[in-house]
Amino acid sequence: MLFRHATLIAALTTLAMPFSAHADQVQVAVAANFTAPMKVIAAEFEKATGHKAELSFGATGKFYAQIKNGAPFDVLLAADDETPAKMEKEGLAVPGSRMTYAIGALVLWSAKPGFVDDKGAILKTGDFAHLAIAAPKLAPYGAAAIETLDKLGLLATLEPKFVTGESIGQTYQFINTGNAELGFVALSQVYANGKLTSGSAWFVPADFHKPIRQDAVILSKAKDNAAAIVLLKFLKTKQARDVIKSYGYTL
């Protein structure tokens, strides 16, 4: 009877503590568009689990090249679903660990209030000198911007005005500092708690470009890293998903 009682207590304790009690560290390469929500999630992850997530932000394409060359990351939170899938095939990621953690949204944004209308008609007037986009070969949001302009029939006309950032983070900085009057960025960079945080914007319709499915994957070197495994589980919790949605992503 005593043994059965002890076993029941152990089982209940396990259910009450779904994450590992042993504190560990995980090195996370995070797509630049996911900077703001991931900072919040990392803090909540540490409080909930005791594990610490060390974050690096940048372009997915650049992270892929670094990881191929031995960069010491444990988890990749990509801005697309193609890169993690390719890494699985190449043996760079743990098979079966890949998951979609968010679906991104594209926005045409200016730091100036009233500069961008809510239909994006300013693109047709061309009344600006510079249009910032992320490098389409490195950043999926840049590829989505190219698709959007192509759909509008404006790509050839506006291409001479491009100011190209190597990541969506750098693209945002071009616009925020005034080096470009407007540009395409991730909605999450200019949106929080259900509203635009600054400037003016056109919310690009989702059918103007391919869905921006953002996948996470555990890298092969981290297959036994408890914190890496727990982090991907944590991204599926209501706590993390509420944060993700508050920055304009869908799930």
**222 lies in some domain:** yes
Does a structural domain hold residue 4? Answer: no
Q: Could you tell me the pTM of the whole model?
A: 0.81
Residue 9 lies in a domain: no
Q: What is the pLDDT of residues 114-135, one digit of tens each?
A: 999 999 999 999 999 999 999 9
CATH of the domain at 160: 3.40.190.10
Same domain, residue pair 90 and 124: no
Tell me, yes or no, whether 55 and 66 share the same domain: yes
pLDDT at 241 over 90: yes
Range of the domain at 156: 105-208
Q: Kindly state whether residue 1 falls inside one of the protein's structural domains.
A: no
pLDDT digit string, tens, across residues 172-192: 999 999 999 999 999 999 999
Instruction: Classify strands 212-218 and 195-196 as parallel, antiparallel or unpaired.
Output: unpaired
Does residue 55 contact residue 101 with C-beta atoms inside 8 Å?
A: no
Residues 71 and 145 in one domain: no
pLDDT digits (tens, 9 = 90+) for 178-234: 999 999 999 999 999 889 999 999 999 999 999 999 999 999 999 999 999 999 999
Domain assignment of residue 75, yes or no: yes
**CA 35 to mean position of chain CA atoms:** 7
| Strand bridging mode 106-110 / 182-186 | antiparallel
Q: Rg for the chain (alpha carbons), in Å?
A: 20
Q: For residue 37, what are its two tokens?
A: 């929500």
User: Does residue 225 share a domain with residue 134?
Assistant: no
- Whether 197 and 110 share a structural domain: yes
Total domains present in the chain: 2
